[in-house]
Amino acid sequence: MLVATGSMTVLLLDIYAYETLHLHLNPLVWELLLSGEKSDMNAHWQYLFIMVPAIFLLELIMSEWVWRKLRKLSRKRIGVPVATVFAVCFISSHLIYIWSDAYLYSPVTAQRSNFPVSYPMTAKSFMEKYGLLDRQEYQRRKDEVGEQESEVIRYPLEKLSFSADAANHNQNLLVVMVESLRADMLDPVVMPNLDNFADSNIKFENHFSSSNDAMAGIFGLFYGLPGSYATSARTEALSPLLLETLEQRNYRFGLFSADNFDNPIYYQSVFGKHLKDAPEIKANDVWVADHIATDDLEKWLKEDDNSQPWFAYLELKSVTDYEQGGDYERPFQPSLDNDMASVGEHTALVLKNSYNNAAYYVDTLLGELFDSLEANGQLKNTIVVITSNHGTEFNETGSNSWGANTNYSKYQLQVPMVIHWPSQQPQTVSAYSSHLDVVPTLMESMLAVDSPASNYTSGRNLFEISEKPRKWVIAGDSRDIVVVQPDKTTVVDKFGNYRVYDSNYKLQPEGKPQLSVLMQVMHELKRFYYPEDN
């Protein structure tokens, strides 16, 4: 009975943890439960132990009843039928999951995460061996619908409402995505045109992408939601509310990409049907493709007859493929100083200079674009957003991390954010901002949405963050939850294991997550799955 009581108590704790944090019992949950920090969670979970004596008493009553009825029950021989029912249920549940996993039936496969210590069987290799499954067809369908272990997303939480004069808000919108551009490239030497443009407009000094991954970074920018919601949004075929609103206002769409929007997030979720009108760019070199994409955008803008507002999106790739080089001016050359500390440092310097050259080249394209907008008089009625999906690291953290999607340091998460807003004065904002803030800013200040931003985004209006600076920003994807704070970064994986890093992204072995912050983050990561009062 002691074992049964203990097991029932642990199960109750697991149910409470899953309802509260959307996590089963794991190292992080135990850390939060046993934390000395005062919170509603700590107070509530202790009340669960009131149930322990009640469970124990119930088990005593049941055991006493079974003992008294043991002789009568043994004559009825109910043991075999009961065991058979349980065995059939056990085998059936696994067979159902095997079929659902093979045919991507999400109503069943999505239940796996609801149960603790759940390891249902899969048999794709066995089914393929006996001709019951076509692996290529399976992979094709999986790529189309994405991972099926997703929950039903509620986006928005309530129908949006707009102000009475919303129809009079018809500013144009241009978003420029310079892939893999880290924040410190916004420099008068490396990118003089963008730096000058930033000084004349609104520059956000501490801006973070929603992920170090290209897909999740783009998702956060257009949906205003953390990357953990991306799979659910794709499975439910939900379009970004920002683009839906632009479409409802009869905006003209112009989409231009150096790699023809190769990232699946574009055609599966973000732009969808609008991509059929995007011009196809054919070029062997990425720097040439960037030039063509920019020229195509400028030609498209010159066709504007002011009869309807427009939305344009330009994606530039030269910085991502900086190692390819290109037939363009190279003002940055690697130093061959014999006093270099190591071969590794020299390699990093060579790569960084190639990266700087690519950024410098992109800056020339941006300069031409700014001049074109100015010459056409379009800056007077056009909001321009210039940013990146994530940064790039050259092992500055000393952890053998290169490129992106290898850690959550500022080199991979912090990106430029420059906004030209016709009615706003030039300013530099030092408060922490995020890609998640772009959607509420455009929805409220450009498209006149009346509904609270919390109904459709995890972000805040960028024009209001200085009044009440946030203490943390969310990053990460479906694998990791990342909380970025001025003095530390906390990374929690999907198994509940956590790591705490200092401001220089050095691991702190004795570091502990801050309970109050993590509770807010966990709430935000499940808010669009469940009603807020859950």
* Rounded Cα–Cα distance for residues 297 and 254 (Å): 8
Q: Which of 118-132, 149-163, 334-348, 365-379 has the lowest mean pLDDT?
A: 334-348
CA dihedral 284, 288, 292, 295 (to 10 degrees): 180
pTM for the whole thing?
0.80
pLDDT tens digits, 302-361: 988 878 999 999 999 999 998 777 777 778 876 655 554 565 688 888 899 999 999 999
Residue 213 phi, psi (nearest 5): -110, 140
Are the beta carbons of 408 and 475 closer than 8 angstroms?
Answer: yes
Q: Which two tokens stand for residue 40?
A: 């509603």
Name residue, tokens 């759940």: 118
Identify the pLDDT of residue 533: 42
Residues forming a β-bridge with 175: 313, 385
Is the pLDDT at 205 greater than 50, yes or no? yes
The domain segmentation of the chain, as residue ranges, is 2-145, 168-467
Contacting residues for 418 by C-beta, under 8 A, at least 6 apart = 186, 194, 197, 198, 201, 202, 203, 204, 384, 385, 386, 387
Name residue, tokens 């109750």: 12
The helix (run of H) or strand (run of E) holding residue 209 is none
* Rounded Cα–Cα distance for residues 111 and 96 (Å): 12
State which fold the 168-467 domain adopts.
Alkaline Phosphatase, subunit A (3.40.720)
- Pick the closest to residue 214 from 242, 178, 176, 260 (CA basis): 178
pLDDT tens digits, 514-530: 877 888 898 898 899 85
Identify the pLDDT of residue 232: 86
